[in-house]
Structure 1
Amino acid sequence: MSEAKMNPMHELSDNVAVPFEQARAMPPSVYTSTEFLEQELDKVFRQDWLCAGRSSSLPNPGDYTTMEIAGEPIMVLRDRDGSLRAQSNVCRHRMSTLLEGRGTVKSIVCPYHAWTYNLDGSLRGAPAMMHNTAFCKSEISLPTIRCEDWKGWIMVALNPDATPVGEGLAEVDALIGHYGMENYVESFCETHRWNTNWKVLAENFMESYHLPVCHAGTIGGTVDLEKMTCPEGRPAFNYHWILKDNTMPLTLAHPNNTHLVGDDRNKTYLLSIYPALLITLTPGYFWYLSLQPDGPDHVNILFGGGLAPEFRDDPEAATHFKALKTLLDEVNDEDRGCTEKVYRGLCAKSAEPGLLSHLERPNFDFARYLNAKIQGEG
């Protein structure tokens, strides 16, 4: 094998330089290489918009959540005037992280020396600093990070020059804006860590070719491979849709839903917002994954979901939610088993990428997106 072929960046470029009709899965080195991961962190995760969850999960001033992007600790909170704000989660004194997990605070207090910040990041107080003549409280504040509320999603970007979310994802709104995704109500949000590469999980979401087998115990029987549509992806996302039958009422539009008509009443969209927000949107419910790599071999997952307004307002809402959560937990367990097996296989010396089905068109589009980013073309 040539030196160029040994380089995962070159291997990926070769991989996407063919027509889709001849496409193969991405080479193993793209998943297992620490060198490639560093390129992803620098040219993908530090550049594009990432999701911190649903904005409805932070309804009140002081409500917060935390995340980490490419090693950078970040907090997102609702400030005093009701706006979403993202800022560094690192104290400006001795650099301890400040907040953990999710919760509600009246102010931000460092757990190390009690330096205290207002919700807008300005320094409120710092004990025993009166003898340092260079100290000026008014000059110290937590660095601000870009944050936008896009259709109910909290989107955060380290890159100050990233294209505004609404502009970059205008085609998503044109595609599924009539579903009213911003009005769906989150019912749960959890964090998980799986022993697989983040791209394996992303690709698993992007294709429904695996549903009849991997999900034979849950949703596999509700889909027909012959009725799946996988259009060519767009620069900022890919998508496909499935027409569901009536065996699972939650996947269909509620009788009180009057704005969805025709096939849209039983059409499920699977949206992959690059690089790492994965959304399943049905007329009755939604669920999502927001991914962060944790080394080549692990992925940290924000996993949430909820109901369309009509199901949330239904007298049987509690029953609907219980049924949804039970289903999603079972589907998640099936996906974990499949994706962890794929990563183990990728690490084998005998691993070799196979040819893609027409139902894996989104995977090829994702590979092209990654290649463009890594090569500095996107």
Structure 2
Amino acid sequence: MSTEAGSDLVRALRANCERPFGDARSMPPGVYTSEAFLALEQRDVFRNEWLCVGRASALAQTGDYLTAQIADQPVVVLREPGGELRAFSNVCLHRMSVLLEGRGNVRRIVCPYHAWNYSLDGKLAGAPLMERQSGFCKDQYALPAVRCETWQGWIYVTLNDHAPSVATQLAGLTSLIEPYGMTDYIETFHEEHVWDTNWKILAENFMESYHLPMLHRATVGPHSKLEEMECPPGLPAFNYHWITKEATLPIGNAHPANTRLEGHWRRTTALLAIYPTHLVTLTPGYFWYLILQPQGVGRVHIRFGGGLAPEFIDDPKAAEYMGTLKALLDEVNAEDRRGVEAVFRGVHAPLAKPGHLSHLERPNYDFARYLAHRIGAA
């Protein structure tokens, strides 16, 4: 699809977002199916925004690393000997092979192609036989640095040298969720998946709980009361909604040893959508998250993980609690996958038209306005 077609979709999205929320509709089908629109997202969103790549506690030891992708740029984040987290281009400076894959621990970053190798500060440490080339100088080579910051225990990276800090952009969210102490939550599992849907369909699915009673009727649906959900207007960098109830799992409420949370906070779940791709369910006892990366229009790579608040980590039944939670989340994810893949098939239909949003889909409206503001703004 042409650039002009992508621009037409941006105009249609903006027109849709000019409606007041009481008359708001879903985003136009083409924003989920158009290659041209995805190219604009990569240019205007992914290459410019802070993107979450994982949990800082997952990189606890010197040499621990994880890899990620910012648009077309491979990135590696690692723990330096001094304890700092740093991010670099994950591309060799010789013949441009990708250096590291997945997660792991290294003493040096060694290229799998010709064994050029880099120390954990990104500087070239060794290059086999290159001393025979008179024009080669090892000291001239160092992996380009990528901006890397942490917020509430999460690692964020960006290619944008001018983006305000994560802490600045998320200051409003920091104050909203301060009672939870999310920084100290410990990740206990991490997986990666690829689903056959558009990344925005999955993001929107997370942002609203209107679907819980039906799509999740075999799991959490019977315990999900729509009247218990609050969906305030979002802010420029994120949206959120609350569910306050007695949890069906013990870890959904605050642990008896938790002295941080008082009153309704001890039984309130926060669902956070940090633009563009970081999605967190934060409860008094546990958290779980999705981090999304489009792999084309119809495929999305998902980092899926979760863990426990420190009081439950210290509880003798921690392993039992986490096992129960993981089993439930796996079932919920399977239901969500069926739902979002069905929506992706549906948005291709010639007769597909956006319908009105419910009052519980305020986050979706705010997300659409975020995209309309970012894409094509240059």
Give TM-score, length-normalised by structure 1. Answer: 0.97
- The residue type paired with residue 19 of structure 2 is V
Q: Distance in 2 between matches of 1:95 and 1:231?
A: 47
Partner of 1:346: 347
CA offset at residue 248 of structure 1? 2.2
Instruction: Provide the residue aligned with 1:228 in structure 2.
Output: 229
Structure 1 residues 267-298: Cα deviation after superposition (integer angstroms, max 9, x where no partner): 00000000000000000100000001111101
What is aligned with 2:308? 307
Question: What number of residue pairs does the alignment pair up?
Answer: 375
In structure 2, the partner of 1:44 is 45
**Residue 270 of structure 2: SS of its match in structure 1?**
strand
Q: How does 1:364-375 map to 2 (within 5 A)?
A: 364-375=365-376
| Distance in 2, Cα, partners of 1:27 & 1:37 | 14
1:105-254 correspondence to structure 2 within 5 Å? 105-254=106-255
Aligned partners of 1:287 and 1:306 also within 8 Å: yes
Query: 1:73 and 1:5, CA in 2 relative to 1: closer, same or farther beyond 3 A?
Result: closer
Q: Structure 1 residues 6 and 77 mapped into 2: Cα distance closer, same or farther (>3 Å)?
A: closer
Is 1:147–1:155's contact at 8 Å kept on the other side of the alignment? yes
Aligned partners of 2:336 and 2:234: how far apart in 1? 23
Give secondary structure in 2 for the equivalent of 1:86.
Answer: strand
Q: 2:327, 2:221 → 1: CA distance?
A: 15
User: What secondary structure, in the 3-state scheme, does the structure 1 residue paired with 2:132 have?
Assistant: coil
Q: For residues 26 and 255 of structure 1, do their structure 2 counterparts lie closer, same or farther at Cα, with a shift above 3 Å needed? A: same
Deviation at 1:6, TM superposition (A): 8.5
User: Aligned to 2:331, what secondary structure does the other structure show?
Assistant: helix
- Alpha-carbon offset, residue 247 of structure 1: 2.7
CA separation in 1, counterparts of 2:245 and 2:313?
21
**Residue pair 1:4, 1:10 contacting (<8 A) in 2 also:** no
Q: Per-residue deviation at 1:343?
A: 0.4
Q: Which residues in structure 2 correspond to 1:86-101 (within 5 Å)?
A: 86-101=87-102
Distance 1:58 1:248 in 2: 29
Cα deviations by residue, 1:110-132 (Å, 9 ceiling, x for unpaired): 11111010001000011111232
Contact 1:190–1:303, Cα closer than 8 Å, also in 2: yes
Structure 1 residue 178 displacement after superposition: 1.4
For 1:325 and 1:340, locate their aligned partners in 2 and report how far apart those are by CA, in whole Å.
22
- What is the alpha-carbon distance in structure 1 between the residues aligned to residue 7 and residue 312 of structure 2? 52
1:174 counterpart letter in structure 2: S
Greater alpha carbon shift after TM alignment, 295-304 vs 256-265? 256-265
Q: TM-score, normalised by structure 2?
A: 0.97
Structure 2: distance between partners of 1:54 and 1:165: 15
- The separation in 2 between residues aligned to 1:177 and 1:19, in whole angstroms, is 31
Give the deviation of 1:350 after TM superposition. 1.0
Deviation for aligned residue 1:216: 1.0
Q: Distance in 1 between matches of 2:133 and 2:149?
A: 38
Matches of 2:43 and 2:362 in 1, distance apart? 26
CA RMSD, aligned part only?
Answer: 1.3
* Paired residues of 1:223 and 1:244 also in contact (CA < 8 A): no
Could you tell me how far 1:69 is from its partner in structure 2? Answer: 1.3
1:198 aligned partner, one-letter code: W
Once the two structures are TM-superposed, the CA of residue 245 in structure 1 deviates from its matched residue by 2.4
Cα distance in 1, alignment partners of residues 12 and 336 from structure 2: 27
How far apart in 1 are the matches of 2:319 and 2:36? 47
Following TM superposition, by how much is the alpha carbon of 1:255 offset from its aligned partner in structure 2, in angstroms? 1.0
Worse-matched range after superposition: 217-226 or 322-331? 217-226
- Identity, % of aligned pairs? 58
Once residues 11 and 144 of structure 1 are traced to their aligned partners in structure 2, the CA distance between those partners, rounded to angstroms, is: 38
Aligned partner of 2:86 in structure 1 is: 85
Aligned mates of 1:30, 1:286 — CA distance in 2:
30
Answer yes or no: is the 8 Å Cα contact 2:89–2:144 preserved in 1: yes
Task: Determine the C-alpha separation between the residues in 2 that align with 1:185 and 1:127.
Answer: 41
Moved more, 212-221 or 34-43: 212-221
The CA deviation string for residues 78-128 of structure 1, in whole angstroms up to 9 with x for no partner, is 011110010011000000111011100000111111101000100001111
Q: Deviations over 1:288-345 (max 9, x none)?
A: 0000111110100000000111111101111011011101111111110100000000
1:249-264 residue pairs with structure 2 within 5 A? Answer: 249-264=250-265
Verify the 8 A CA contact 2:6 2:37 in the aligned structure 1. no
Aligned partners of 1:63, 1:209: CA distance in 2, in Å?
A: 39
The amino acid that maps onto 1:141 is A
Conservation of the 8 A alpha-carbon contact between 1:244 and 1:251: no
Shift of residue 4 of structure 1? 8.3
1:130 partner SS: helix
CA separation in 1, counterparts of 2:295 and 2:190? 19
Matched residue SS, 2:178: helix
1:284 partner letter: G
Give distance in 2, aligned partners of 1:247 and 1:73: 41
1:148 to partner: Cα distance? 0.6
Structure 1 contact 116–124 (Cα < 8 Å) conserved? yes
Q: Distance in 2 between matches of 1:231 and 1:61?
A: 42
Amino acid of the residue matched to residue 309 of structure 1? P
CA 1:115 to 1:336, structure 2 compared with 1: closer, same or farther past 3 Å? Answer: same
Q: Distance in 1 between the 2:154 and 2:74 partners?
A: 19
Is 1:72 aligned with 2:49? no
CA distance in 2, matches of 1:88, 1:375: 27
For residues 304 and 4 of structure 1, do their structure 2 counterparts lie closer, same or farther at Cα, with a shift above 3 Å needed? closer
